[in-house]
């Protein structure tokens, strides 16, 4: 099996790949994430995941690059990672009591054959109403600061999640079913990695 390079510094994505037993090498990239205004969320995450994959591929000779990008969307507005605690509070106040969408774009780049696959997953999440004190306590944990939408469904914020429609792993940051289907197109069966 070719080496899979995860072009991401996200510990959650690494944990998800470990969870499904997919061997990988972390290859951190740093790109300008500025996009032209007006792009729909699905196009945004696919564009950014492709840019990350291209940045990694530029310095690698072989293997498969896996890159992903996740955003939270409320009422058509993309909410990225909060810049500070104040921004995290504002995001959580807006999200609480509402349903929002989570989009993750995935790009797989096969370096030897030159094939590039891109796709995305969309999941709806409803957060229950939260008191000001709950928001303050959660922000004080620092957990929201490196997460799109200022919350981690797999962490302490799980107690605020009233419901999910779609792929749970997409909300964590990597839709595993979608990824497995895309890898299959490159003749990689995840289950064959379990030996």
* Active site (catalytic) residues: 69
Residue 43 CB contacts under 8 Å (≥ 6 apart), including other chains: none
Alpha helices in 61-188 (DSSP H): 85-95, 132-140, 168-172, 176-185
Classify 90 as helix, strand or coil.
Answer: helix
Q: Would you say the C-alpha torsion 46, 121, 156, 125 has a positive or negative sign?
A: positive
Strands (E) across 75-136 are located at 77-79, 99-110, 116-127
Neighbour count for residue 187 (Cβ, 10 Å)? 9
β-partners of residue 99 are 126
CA–CA dist 89, 85 (Å, integer): 6
CA–CA dist 57, 62 (Å, integer): 8
CA–CA dist 65, 110 (Å, integer): 7
Rg (CA), the chain: 17
């Amino acid at each position: 099996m070719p080496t899979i390079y995860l072009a991401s510094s996200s510990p959650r994505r690494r944990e998800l790949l470990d969870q499904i037993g997919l061997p990988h090498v972390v290859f951190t990239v740093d790109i300008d994430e500025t996009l032209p205004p007006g792009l729909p969320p699905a196009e945004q995450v696919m564009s950014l995941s492709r840019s990350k994959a291209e940045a990694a591929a530029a310095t690698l000779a072989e293997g498969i690059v896996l890159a992903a990008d996740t955003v939270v969307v409320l009422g058509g507005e993309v909410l990225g990672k909060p810049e500070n605690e104040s921004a995290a509070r504002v995001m959580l106040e807006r999200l609480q009591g509402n349903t929002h969408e989570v989009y993750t774009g995935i790009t797989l780049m096969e370096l030897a054959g030159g094939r590039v696959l891109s796709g995305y997953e969309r999941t709806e999440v409803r957060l229950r109403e939260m008191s000001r004190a709950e928001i303050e306590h959660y922000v004080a944990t620092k957990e929201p600061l490196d997460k799109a939408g200022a919350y981690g469904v797999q962490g302490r914020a799980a107690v605020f999640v009233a419901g999910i429609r779609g792929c749970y792993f997409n909300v964590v940051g990597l839709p595993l079913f979608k990824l497995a289907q895309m890898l299959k197109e490159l003749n990689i069966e995840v289950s064959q990695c379990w030996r």
